[in-house]
Structure 1
Amino acid sequence: MHADSALPLDGITVVSIEQAVAAPLATRTLADLGARVIKVERADGGDFAREYDHVVHGTGAHFVWLNRGKESLAVDLKTAEGRDVVQRLIARADVFVQNLAPGAAARLGFGAAELRAEHPELVAVDLSGYGTGGPKEQRKAYDMLVQAEAGLIGITGTPDTPVKTGIPTSDIASGMYCAQAVLAALLRRWRTGQGATVEVSMLEATVEWMGYAMYSQMYSGRQPARMGLSHASIAPYDAYPTKDGQMLIGVQNDSGWRTLVTSVLEAPQLAEDPRFTTNVLRVEHRAECDAAVAAETARWSTVELDERLAQAGIPAAQVKQVADVVADPQLRARDRWRKIGTEHATVDALLPPVTFADVEARMGDVPAFGAHTRALLEEAGVDADELLRRGIAAGPR
């Protein structure tokens, strides 16, 4: 690392009226890259993700994941005084992000058009479930609901059972596109001096991720099947039993098939089996192919088979539990864990996946509710004692 290196967003200030997952992920990404992020929370309890659970030494797991490196300002936006504080901070900011219910920001005076009329250099981002206009504009948009509307649940799971993904995919997709849009808008502002009005829809972000499945349906006329761990176009591609567990194996070409059955599984007769000589034939005879592979993989332990597959260059992986990932030697060898502070304890946090050679991400602390309220009220030039006394603003509990 270079001692004089700056993070890409050093000097950029972001004000965000945010809650839950999507917008907080976007702004945490910006904070990791060096931006100052002022998180506006409800004065009567803050971001409700704080109370999803208390598993991280008394703080919610979602909240710890999504809110490091931010300043917490707790104000009542239903009051003119509370709105005035945020307006004053936005006037000095580079970016404004919000993911309130549809139309709520505009009713409070934080609509993008209104803000940019006053501050044309501002990058104003609205993150919503379904976007402006259309029959679903006013619908509630929780992650699972958007996954369903986008068709993701329709292609995820087994032939018998559709499931949502195990992580909030729609929230994450829209949060990442939001952060990407901010970076692009700031780059354009650097060239032109003009800000931007940006809209990000959870539905559209998720449909974009549907990619190949969507094109497959449009041009074949067939709904992509739910395949579990299998693959509609490739075989063998699934979980196969070992003596003590299972291994995922994915063979994507015919030479890989021959290597798998001869060098790894020591079953050369399968290489010549006329049902399996090409991928098209293996897909056509998927059940027989899977059964033949499973009979051979069951001869080894998981660790033994994993090593044999790795040495032969066959794509494979163990099915790990989350505890295994936390202890993953790859992450440890690459020194990806750091310590950050939370309201009650110091905890481990994973560095973001983008690595700059000359400077490390800013891994700031997770703010307690209203931890920065007084300082931000004073920065905004208002009477902090008065607003705190009247309950228009709130400090740490």
Structure 2
Amino acid sequence: MSNSTGPGPLDGIRVVEIATFIAAPGGSHLLASQGAEVIKVEDLVVGDPLRMFGSSRNGMSGWFANLNAGKRSLAMDIASAPGRQVMADLLATADVFVQAYRPGVAERLGIGEADVRKRNPKIVYVSISGFGRDGPYSKRPAYDAVIQGWSGIAAVQGGDGEPQFVKSFIPDKVTSLTWTQAVCAALFARERTGRGEHVELSLLDSAVSFMWPDAMMDHTVLSDDADHRPNLLADYRLLACRDGYVAMMPLTDAHWKGVADAFGRPDLLTDPRFAEAGPRAAHFGDMIDTLGEVVADVARDDVVERLI
């Protein structure tokens, strides 16, 4: 969100971040893009290790820049007495504080929620971890790859074959979106109640919630008399045409008629498997296979031109 004629909607909101890599910094970058003042706190030795990953210039990678643009930067030894005092004074002025330590670490450093709220009761305090506060894995670190495995993302991506990673940091980025939405809700609630909130989430929670509606559809309707069908994601794929690939998903009756007309295939409208949306949903795999046959000998640009 941007406003070229004035400040963003979060103008006047101060966010303090002490975190590395993606899940927390990506979210605070979104808040900065909406007008918040974001102060990123790093240690004095390495800083955020993301500075070193990928193509870089003058010690700053493009990856780091993409997730931290628009922020102010501060380096300190938070474990030292002077560093703790500076951090405490800074947090006393903040509207939002986000940290991504494993459970218990922030408390040992004197920046747990209870400590921070003593001086700043209205602060929105954000805790991000890999597996949450409780449970056998609560103290373990977790990066995106681990969560792709635990959440089922890799299994779904692999289909009936070997599990595969999505070649993008989905759990980290979904967590970023989730906590920033929660922070905006907490700030809105604070306007009504005058009280700060504690936003607490894990990468695993965010990833499972993200995957659940479609990947877990077969684990939602469990009755014996339910109409159980194969998961549609098993047939979710690009279609090979004569000189490349195209993406097609004609779900409505109007879209299906458009495909039939565009490729001169009136039989698609009379085939009982595809004549209406209900049968198409029941025969989704057959529908995708048939679309693949329709475009197999057609040039990619011609497919696109016919469907526009």
Q: Same fold judged by TM-score > 0.5?
A: yes
1:316-395 → structure 2 map (5 Å cutoff)? none
Q: Is the 8 A contact 2:217 2:231 kept in 1?
A: no
Distance verdict in 2 for CA 1:287–1:216, change over 3 Å = closer
Aligned-residue Cα RMSD (Å) equals 2.7
* Counterpart code for 2:240: P
- Contact 1:239-1:246 within 8 A present in 2 as well: yes
User: 3-state DSSP class of the match of 1:173?
Assistant: helix
Cα distance per residue 1:54-96 (max 9 Å; x no partner): 3467532320111001111111122111121111111122211
Does the residue aligned with 1:81 lie in a helix, a strand or coil? helix
- Pick from 298, 306, 314 the counterpart of residue 296 of structure 2: 298
Alpha-carbon distance in structure 2 between the residues aligned to 1:284 and 1:196: 45
1:70-124 CA deviation, whole Å, 9 max, x = no partner?
1111111221111211111111222111012332111100101111123211111
Q: Secondary structure at the match of 2:152?
A: coil
Contact kept? 1:153, 1:162, Cα under 8 Å: yes
Instruction: Give the CA deviation at 1:156.
Output: 1.9
The residue aligned with 1:142 is 143
User: Unpaired segments of 5 or more residues in structure 1?
Assistant: 232-237, 311-397
Q: Report how far residue 255 of structure 1 moved.
A: 4.7
- Kindly indicate whether the alpha-carbon contact (under 8 Å) linking 1:239 and 1:247 is maintained by their aligned counterparts in 2: yes
Match for 2:154: what amino acid? I
Gap runs ≥5 in structure 2: none
Aligned length: 302
Q: Distance in 2 between matches of 1:181 and 1:289?
A: 39
Higher relative contact order (CA 8 A, sep 6+): 1
Corresponding residue for residue 49 of structure 2: 48
User: CA separation of 1:120/1:245 partners in 2, compared to 1, >3 Å: closer, same or farther?
Assistant: same
> What are the within-5 Å matches in structure 2 for residues 165-176 of structure 1?
165-176=166-177
Helix, strand or coil at the partner of 1:125: strand
1:104-119 equivalences under 5 Å are 104-119=105-120
Distance 1:225 1:116, change over 3 A: same
Cα distance in 2, alignment partners of residues 187 and 23 from structure 1: 20
Change (3 A) 1:211 1:158: closer
Match of 1:8 in 2: 9
Q: Which residue type is aligned with residue 152 of structure 1?
A: I
Are residues 216 and 284 of structure 1, via their aligned partners in 2, closer, same or farther at CA, if it must alter by over 3 Å?
closer
Aligned residues of 2:52 and 2:59 also touching (Cα < 8 A) = no
- In proportion to residue count, which structure has more helix? 2
Partner of 1:157: 158
Taking every aligned residue pair, what percent have the same amino acid on both sides? 35
Distance 1:220 1:256, change over 3 A: farther
- Aligned mates of 2:300, 2:245 — CA distance in 1: 6
Greater alpha carbon shift after TM alignment, 24-33 vs 78-87? 78-87
Correspondence 1:98 to 2:74: no
Contact 2:27 2:177 in 1 (8 A): yes
Contact in 1 for aligned 2:273/2:283 (Cα 8 Å): yes
Counterpart position of 1:342: none
CA 1:306/1:18 → structure 2, altered by over 3 Å: closer, same or farther?
A: same
> Of 263, 266, 269, which residue of structure 1 is paired with 2:267?
269
Aligned match of 2:306 in 301, 308, 311? 308
CA–CA separation in structure 2 for the residues paired with 1:226 and 1:271? 22
Amino acid at match of 1:309: L
The correspondence of residues 55-66 of structure 1 with structure 2, limited to 5 A, is 55=56, 59-66=60-67
TM-score by length of 2: 0.87
Q: What is the CA–CA distance in structure 1 between the aligned matches of 2:247 and 2:36, rounded to whole Å? A: 40
Q: 1:138 to 1:223 in 2, by over 3 A?
A: farther
